[in-house]
Protein backbone atom coordinates (compact mmCIF):
# COMPACT_ATOMS: atom_id res chain seq x y z
CA UNK A 1 0.00 0.00 0.00
CA UNK A 2 1.51 3.37 -0.96
CA UNK A 3 0.85 6.73 0.61
CA UNK A 4 -0.36 9.56 -1.57
CA UNK A 5 2.18 12.31 -2.19
CA UNK A 6 1.33 15.79 -1.02
CA UNK A 7 2.88 19.16 -1.87
CA UNK A 8 2.06 22.70 -2.85
CA UNK A 9 -0.12 23.32 -5.78
CA UNK A 10 1.20 25.46 -8.60
CA UNK A 11 -1.11 28.29 -7.55
CA UNK A 12 0.14 28.34 -3.96
CA UNK A 13 3.79 28.20 -5.05
CA UNK A 14 3.24 31.20 -7.37
CA UNK A 15 1.55 33.13 -4.54
CA UNK A 16 4.51 32.42 -2.19
CA UNK A 17 7.04 33.44 -4.83
CA UNK A 18 5.15 36.68 -5.52
CA UNK A 19 5.08 37.44 -1.78
CA UNK A 20 8.86 36.88 -1.53
CA UNK A 21 9.49 39.20 -4.50
CA UNK A 22 7.27 41.90 -2.96
CA UNK A 23 9.02 41.62 0.44
CA UNK A 24 12.44 41.80 -1.22
CA UNK A 25 11.38 44.89 -3.20
CA UNK A 26 10.07 46.61 -0.04
CA UNK A 27 13.33 45.89 1.82
CA UNK A 28 15.40 47.17 -1.12
CA UNK A 29 13.40 50.41 -1.38
CA UNK A 30 13.52 50.92 2.40
CA UNK A 31 17.31 50.51 2.50
CA UNK A 32 17.84 52.85 -0.46
CA UNK A 33 15.65 55.64 0.96
CA UNK A 34 17.21 55.52 4.44
CA UNK A 35 14.20 54.18 6.30
CA UNK A 36 16.13 51.20 7.67
CA UNK A 37 19.13 53.30 8.73
CA UNK A 38 16.78 55.63 10.64
CA UNK A 39 15.30 52.66 12.46
CA UNK A 40 18.76 51.32 13.33
CA UNK A 41 20.20 54.48 14.89
CA UNK A 42 23.63 54.26 16.41
CA UNK A 43 24.93 56.57 19.12
CA UNK A 44 27.41 59.30 18.36
CA UNK A 45 31.01 58.20 18.67
CA UNK A 46 33.32 60.68 20.33
CA UNK A 47 36.30 60.80 22.62
CA UNK A 48 36.37 63.49 25.31
CA UNK A 49 38.66 64.56 28.12
CA UNK A 50 37.72 66.52 31.25
CA UNK A 51 40.13 68.60 33.33
CA UNK A 52 40.03 71.31 35.95
CA UNK A 53 40.24 74.71 34.28
CA UNK A 54 41.03 77.83 36.25
CA UNK A 55 39.22 80.85 34.83
CA UNK A 56 40.64 84.34 35.41
CA UNK A 57 40.49 85.21 39.10
CA UNK A 58 41.39 81.59 40.02
CA UNK A 59 37.79 80.43 39.59
CA UNK A 60 37.63 76.65 39.27
CA UNK A 61 35.57 75.31 36.36
CA UNK A 62 35.53 72.07 34.36
CA UNK A 63 36.80 71.94 30.78
CA UNK A 64 35.34 69.23 28.52
CA UNK A 65 37.56 68.80 25.45
CA UNK A 66 36.16 67.01 22.37
CA UNK A 67 39.24 65.09 21.22
CA UNK A 68 37.93 63.30 18.16
CA UNK A 69 34.88 61.63 16.67
CA UNK A 70 31.49 62.81 15.47
CA UNK A 71 30.43 66.45 15.56
CA UNK A 72 27.25 66.64 17.63
CA UNK A 73 24.51 69.14 18.41
CA UNK A 74 24.14 70.21 22.03
CA UNK A 75 20.71 69.77 23.60
CA UNK A 76 18.99 73.10 24.24
CA UNK A 77 20.78 74.97 21.47
CA UNK A 78 19.64 75.93 17.98
CA UNK A 79 22.30 73.87 16.22
CA UNK A 80 21.48 71.44 13.46
CA UNK A 81 23.51 69.16 11.27
CA UNK A 82 25.42 67.13 13.85
CA UNK A 83 25.34 63.35 13.85
CA UNK A 84 23.25 63.29 17.03
CA UNK A 85 22.03 65.40 19.94
CA UNK A 86 23.92 65.14 23.22
CA UNK A 87 23.36 66.54 26.69
CA UNK A 88 25.67 66.91 29.66
CA UNK A 89 24.94 65.76 33.19
CA UNK A 90 27.14 66.54 36.19
CA UNK A 91 27.31 64.42 39.33
CA UNK A 92 28.63 66.63 42.13
CA UNK A 93 30.79 65.70 45.11
CA UNK A 94 27.71 64.72 47.13
CA UNK A 95 26.50 62.27 44.45
CA UNK A 96 23.62 64.45 43.26
CA UNK A 97 22.97 64.54 39.49
CA UNK A 98 22.30 67.81 37.64
CA UNK A 99 21.48 68.48 34.02
CA UNK A 100 23.92 71.05 32.66
CA UNK A 101 22.12 73.70 30.59
CA UNK A 102 23.62 75.95 27.93
CA UNK A 103 24.60 79.47 28.86
CA UNK A 104 23.28 82.37 26.87
CA UNK A 105 24.94 83.23 24.54
CA UNK A 106 26.51 79.99 23.35
CA UNK A 107 27.59 78.64 19.98
CA UNK A 108 26.36 80.58 16.99
CA UNK A 109 26.34 78.27 13.95
CA UNK A 110 28.56 75.31 14.69
CA UNK A 111 28.37 72.00 16.48
CA UNK A 112 30.53 70.65 19.27
CA UNK A 113 33.18 68.94 17.22
CA UNK A 114 36.75 67.71 17.41
CA UNK A 115 39.06 70.33 18.90
CA UNK A 116 36.24 72.26 20.65
CA UNK A 117 36.11 72.83 24.40
CA UNK A 118 33.09 73.36 26.65
CA UNK A 119 33.43 74.91 30.09
CA UNK A 120 31.09 73.77 32.86
CA UNK A 121 30.69 76.33 35.62
CA UNK A 122 28.48 77.10 38.62
CA UNK A 123 26.26 80.21 38.54
CA UNK A 124 25.42 80.03 42.22
CA UNK A 125 22.12 78.29 41.50
CA UNK A 126 22.70 76.03 38.45
CA UNK A 127 25.38 74.34 36.39
CA UNK A 128 25.85 75.77 32.89
CA UNK A 129 28.21 75.26 29.96
CA UNK A 130 29.67 77.67 27.44
CA UNK A 131 32.43 77.77 24.87
CA UNK A 132 33.60 81.23 25.97
CA UNK A 133 34.09 81.97 29.66
CA UNK A 134 34.55 85.70 28.98
CA UNK A 135 30.81 86.07 28.28
CA UNK A 136 29.71 84.68 31.69
CA UNK A 137 30.43 85.24 35.37
CA UNK A 138 31.21 81.87 36.96
CA UNK A 139 31.32 81.02 40.64
CA UNK A 140 34.23 78.78 41.66
CA UNK A 141 33.34 75.09 42.02
CA UNK A 142 33.95 73.55 45.46
CA UNK A 143 36.83 71.09 45.73
CA UNK A 144 36.11 67.40 45.25
CA UNK A 145 35.55 64.81 42.54
CA UNK A 146 32.82 65.36 39.95
CA UNK A 147 31.64 63.10 37.13
CA UNK A 148 30.64 64.48 33.73
CA UNK A 149 28.26 62.29 31.72
CA UNK A 150 27.87 62.84 27.99
CA UNK A 151 24.51 61.38 26.95
CA UNK A 152 23.23 60.75 23.41
CA UNK A 153 19.60 61.90 23.50
CA UNK A 154 18.53 60.25 20.23
CA UNK A 155 19.49 56.74 21.30
CA UNK A 156 19.36 57.47 25.05
CA UNK A 157 22.75 56.00 25.99
CA UNK A 158 25.71 57.31 27.96
CA UNK A 159 28.61 57.96 25.59
CA UNK A 160 31.15 58.87 28.30
CA UNK A 161 31.21 59.19 32.10
CA UNK A 162 34.40 61.02 32.98
CA UNK A 163 35.64 61.86 36.50
CA UNK A 164 37.44 65.13 37.28
CA UNK A 165 38.90 66.35 40.56
CA UNK A 166 38.72 70.03 41.48
CA UNK A 167 41.59 70.93 43.81
Beta strand spans in the chain (E)? 46-55, 59-69, 73-74, 85-91, 97-102, 117-122, 127-130, 144-152, 157-166
Query: What band does 107 get if pLDDT is binned at 50, 70 and 90?
Result: low
> Phi, psi (5° rounding) for residue 50?
-120, 140
Tell me the helices (H) and strands (E) count for the chain, helix number first.
2, 9
Q: What is the pLDDT of residues 36-52, one digit of tens each?
A: 776 777 888 999 999 99
Q: How many CB atoms lie within 10 A of CB 160?
A: 16
The per-residue pLDDT for 91 is 96
Q: Report the pLDDT averaged over residues 59-69.
A: 94
Mean pLDDT over residues 60-82, rounded?
Answer: 87
The pLDDT mean for the chain works out to: 88
Could you tell me which residue, 4 or 127, shows the higher pLDDT?
A: 127
Amino acid sequence: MSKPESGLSETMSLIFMAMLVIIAAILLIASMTGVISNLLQKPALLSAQVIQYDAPGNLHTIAVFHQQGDAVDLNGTSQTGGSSIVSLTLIDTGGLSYTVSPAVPIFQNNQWGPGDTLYIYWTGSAYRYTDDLTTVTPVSLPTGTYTVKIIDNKVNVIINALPVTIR
